Structure 1
Amino acid sequence: MAELLNDERIDEALVNLSDWQRKGDALERTAQLADFPQAIQVVNRVAEIAESENHHPDIDIRWRNLTFRLSTHSDGGITQKDVTLAGEIDEVINSV
């Protein structure tokens, strides 16, 4: 089990994750890509990372718009796993 982050630690993490917002017990980000194939490319790269870490985001795909939602469901909220994956998702999005 991972330790849930308190409000202060979540706020500190969001300073470095400027495209992310806290939505209840999750971190959320929406990204608009150039087109649908590029959006799917991002999803595929994020899927590889998530699978290797055994920590999977909720992903909503709407044409070229992707919304990622991160929460450690087994622990009931936001953990360091979510913060780490959010940073990795940012790297993927910024690389395309």
Structure 2
Amino acid sequence: MEWVETSSGLVATFTTGSMVRGLEFVTRIVDAAEAANHHPDIDLRYAVVRLVLVSHDVGDQITDRDHALAREISGIASEMGIE
């Protein structure tokens, strides 16, 4: 999955195929975010999860923390077979 830098932050959309699979994915993302103490904006839809990563504490800039969590989230998606 490719993350795109936008004015809102690092953005990615993952196709999960179902709400249940999306929720499982989101749960794993939340676990990783809690461990990193860095939390994405998450939009869970029926078959899609959209994420935005940005560091609000430094003026809504994209930082190394965002890139690190993006890599971790992409790894979770890969492990789960999510595009």
Tell me the TM-score normalized by structure 2.
0.90
* Residue 55 of structure 2 is aligned to residue 72 of structure 1: yes
Q: Distance in 2 between matches of 1:95 and 1:70?
A: 20
Q: Could you tell me how far apart the structure 1 residues matched to 2:25 and 2:2 are?
A: 16
State the Cα distance separating 1:52 from its structure 2 match: 1.0
CA–CA separation in structure 1 for the residues paired with 2:8 and 2:56: 9
Shift of 1:23: 1.1
> How far did residue 57 of structure 1 move?
0.3
5+ long unaligned stretches in structure 1: 1-17
Cα distance, 1:34 vs. partner? 2.3
Equivalent position SS for 1:74: helix
C-alpha separation in 1, matches of 2:47 and 2:19:
5
2:5 match: 22
Which structure has the larger Rg over C-alpha atoms? 1
Match of 2:71 in 1: 87
2 CA distance for matches of 1:64 and 1:88? 21
**Counterpart of 1:56?**
39
1:46 shift after superposition: 0.5
- Following TM superposition, by how much is the alpha carbon of 1:49 offset from its aligned partner in structure 2, in angstroms? 0.7
Scaled by the length of structure 1, what TM-score is found?
Answer: 0.78
Q: How much identity, in percent, do the aligned residues show? A: 32
* Unaligned 5+ runs, structure 2: none
Output the CA distance in 2 between the equivalents of 1:37 and 1:95: 16
